[in-house]
Structure 1
Amino acid sequence: MGSTGPAITLYTNHRCPWAHRAHIVIKELGLPYDEVIIDLDKPREPWYLEVNPRGLVPSIKYNNQILTESSVVSRFLADAYPSHLVPNTGDADAAFKRARINFFVDTWFDKINPFLVKDYLAKLKKEIEPLLQDAAPFFGGSGKITLAEALTAPFVARLYSFAGNGLLPGSVLEGFESQTPKFDEWAKKVVAQESVNYIYDEQAIIAGTKKRLGIGAKV
């Protein structure tokens, strides 16, 4: 997009995985935007509650119209700017691919993300591994990340970061390569992407999470 494109303001916090989703989409689309950092460690300012009465991030102002919630923001941008993230609507094949992306994302959050430690590997093997059989290296045989990756990557990245820094047992990562090889290959490709990493400050996220959990500020 050039300078004459729609004005986008992203209200965000770089430690928030939900806001991270919108950053990935914007980066993949190459959209220019203005950024407003919202401090999540203190009560929201009245002006931001006028933007988003829930006080959550992300929110975007798009040509002076407001959208909130990470999935809504991400899907809107992916729909507004046709790209590799999601196929255009208009035919059954595109609809099927979009449905598969939606199913993958729903499966991740319904079956995997809430159960991050207990039986994690078994759930991953049952629920996610079969959905990645045609990844090449990304979902659905795509050579570039799709909306499936954009909406789950923040949590995949934190899985590796937390297990490597004492916030999750290191054993969580054991068995990925041998028992879920497609997931292992896919996840490593996902967390290496520039769009996933350009705002991802691992040490700040670890320190902030430990402080929030009362574990201490040391990493």
Structure 2
Amino acid sequence: MTAPKLVLYNSDACPYAARAVIALAETNQDHEVIPIDLSVPRPEWYLKDINPYGQVPALKIDDKDIILESLFVAEYIADLHPESGLLPKDPLQRAQTRYLIHHWGARTQPAHHKATFISDATEAAANREALVVELEKFNKLLVDAHRVEGDGHGPFFLGDKFTFADLAIAPFLARFFLLGQYNDSKEVTQKEFPQLERFFEWKEAVTARLTVQKATPSQETLTNNYRKWVK
């Protein structure tokens, strides 16, 4: 089968778009990148022909079909390359992968956002405590991950191999350091919270992945870019 022609509409600072960037790198998929500046109103052609909501990423396939939303874009890329092993074959692992991503987006990431992007010290401290509670719940999901023969005992969600759950949350783990950058909150560390050992093992492995590092701007750039979100 002839490989499709892929065009990715991307913004380097966007963690959601980074999911697609990482998927393309993990699969060595040929593609073209068209940058979209999120700091200005989107061009009319983008709203009309690509994404009426103006968001990234968007993926154009063979100059006609469009896929929107980061998880669907990344999953399509992973499906093109089953040999990459990004999408687990075991049904239980696939279900756990979907739930881990959902849980992060619905509960863990909002808690991190509330603790990070606020300047009031008292409220920031309270939000940091709430974040730790959410991280404890997330830590249990990591501990309870179903392993099948051959997965190994590695640090990723499903063992030795970097898979879709790691990919989908990686851009947010790469921004976890922002906690405390805009207020007096302390960084959440394993030394202070040893009950989060599995989370920190996983986070360190995922953020050390070369494809993740290449898809992540510098910490200085991210710190400056996100300052506008601080209340």
**What's the TM-score once normalised by structure 1's chain length?**
0.85
> How big is the shift at 1:122?
1.6
> How big is the shift at 1:34?
0.7
Q: Aligned AA for 2:104?
A: W
> Any gaps of 5 or more consecutive residues in structure 1?
89-93
Equivalent in the alignment of 1:91: none
Matches within 5 A, 1:119-138: 119-125=130-136, 127-133=137-143, 136-138=154-156
1:76 aligns with 2:92: no
Q: Is the 8 A contact 2:104 2:138 kept in 1?
A: yes
Please tell me the root mean square deviation across aligned C-alpha atoms, in Å. 2.1
**What's the TM-score once normalised by structure 2's chain length?**
0.81
Give percent identity, aligned residues only: 31
Matches within 5 A, 1:1-219: 5-49=3-47, 50-64=49-63, 65-82=65-82, 83-88=84-89, 94-116=90-112, 117=115, 118=127, 119-125=130-136, 127-133=137-143, 136-141=154-159, 143-160=160-177, 162-163=178-179, 166-167=181-182, 169-175=184-190, 178-202=194-218, 203-210=220-227, 212-213=228-229
SS in 2 for 1:180: helix
Q: Is the 8 A contact 2:9 2:57 kept in 1?
A: yes
SS in 1 for 2:34: strand
Equivalent in the alignment of 2:149: none
- Number of equivalences: 203
> How big is the shift at 1:42?
0.6
CA distance in 1 between partners of 2:50 and 2:10 (Å): 12
CA distance in 1 between partners of 2:16 and 2:195 (Å): 28
Deviation digits for residues 156-201 of structure 1, max 9, x if unmatched?
11012x136x136552423466120010111011111111111311
SS in 2 for 1:100: helix
Q: Which runs of 4+ in 1 moved over 4 A?
A: none
Q: Aligned AA for 2:27?
A: L
> How big is the shift at 1:14?
0.4
Q: Aligned AA for 1:87?
A: P
Q: Is the 8 A contact 2:12 2:216 kept in 1?
A: yes
CA distance change for structure 1 residues 169 and 22 in 2, over 3 Å: closer, same or farther?
A: farther
Deviation digits for residues 93-141 of structure 1, max 9, x if unmatched?
x22111010011111112211111221112111x211122256211122
Q: Is the 8 A contact 1:121 1:175 kept in 2?
A: no
